[in-house]
Copies of this chain bind each other. A is one copy, B any other.
Amino acid sequence: MSDFWKTGLSRVAPNEILVRGYPIEQLTRQRLFGDVVYLLLKGELPAGSEGRLIEAILIACCEHSLASPSVDAVRFVASAGVPLQTAVAAGVSAIGEVHGGAMEACAELFYAAVKAGQTPGEVFDRLAAQKRRLPGYGHPVHTDDPRTKVLLALASELKLAGPHTMFALRLEEAAQGKIGRRLPMNVDGAIGALLCDLGIDARLGKAFFIIARSAGYAAHAHEQATQERPFKAADHTEITYTGPARRDVPRAPESKL
């Protein structure tokens, strides 16, 4: 069965757990959780302050109140009388293309553009011609996202902002020039760019949102279960029914019931 059960992530033997080769007790003793997230997802421990930036990314996107489809899902599920992990899992499953998914889309975009040496204007025009939305810019609530600002400032200070972050900033400018109004980089855009400069695989873009939000979801599930009444649901008097009016079931043509 050696081919069936195979992993390069960790090794378990009696009284020994190695994560990508490193004894887990050394990691526990000597490192930040952000370092270990980087190790798990990239394969090596960071050489510098990358783990610190990972922690900042996790903090920046850990919570956004009930103004979030996944958090709302957590609250309804948690109200049904299920264990904590079930409600958190529902939240994690709701991180989708339009909610937490832009990090992946941004990372793909920034990687490809920088690799191909494209200008921000070219990228903007190509997406516009394809009638595709520019991922990572604009937000329904925030015009000047505090999370974007702090992450970019910290990355710059830690000397971890590189060509992809620069590109993302120039794309913001280019977009403003093209459409004649600000289209500010949101937290997904900032994280997408930073993940590129950290060399993280774009397909792992949602992983950071998942890890961060799992902490927020746990807090919401606990609050729902301990502070609110069970069975959270829309009241039937609040629901607008748009279907057909009451009608009788016709006899099935060949009914034998």
Contact = CB atoms under 8 A, between A and B. Distances in A.
Interface of A: 1-37, 40-41, 45-49, 51-52, 55-56, 58-60, 62-73, 76-77, 79-86, 88-90, 92-101, 140-147, 149-151, 153-154, 201, 203-204, 206-207, 210-211, 214-216, 218-220, 222-223, 225-228, 230-236, 238-257
A210 B88 contact: yes
B84 A207 contact: yes
A147 B24 contact: yes
A218 B5 contact: no
A7 B143 CA distance: 24
Contacts of A33: 32-34, 55, 58-59
17 contacts: A7-B240, A9-B63, A10-B65, A10-B241, A13-B141, A28-B56, A41-B218, A41-B219, A45-B252, A67-B234, A84-B210, A86-B94, A86-B96, A204-B218, A207-B218, A207-B219, A207-B222
Contacts of A143: 14-15
A47 B249 CA distance: 11
Contact of A98 (B49, B147, B231): B231
Given A26-B249, A40-B219, A211-B215, A98 B9 contact: no
Contacts of A231: 69, 98-99, 140
Nearest to A142: B15
Nearest to A58: B33
Closest 3 A-B residue pairs measured CB to CB?
A: A81-B97, A256-B256, A21-B244
B207 A63 contact: no
B65 A9 contact: yes
Given A20-B244, A48-B254, A85-B96, 20 more contacts: A6-B228, A10-B64, A10-B243, A17-B64, A21-B246, A23-B248, A31-B257, A36-B58, A40-B62, A41-B219, A65-B241, A69-B80, A79-B98, A82-B96, A86-B94, A90-B90, A204-B222, A211-B214, A211-B218, A256-B257
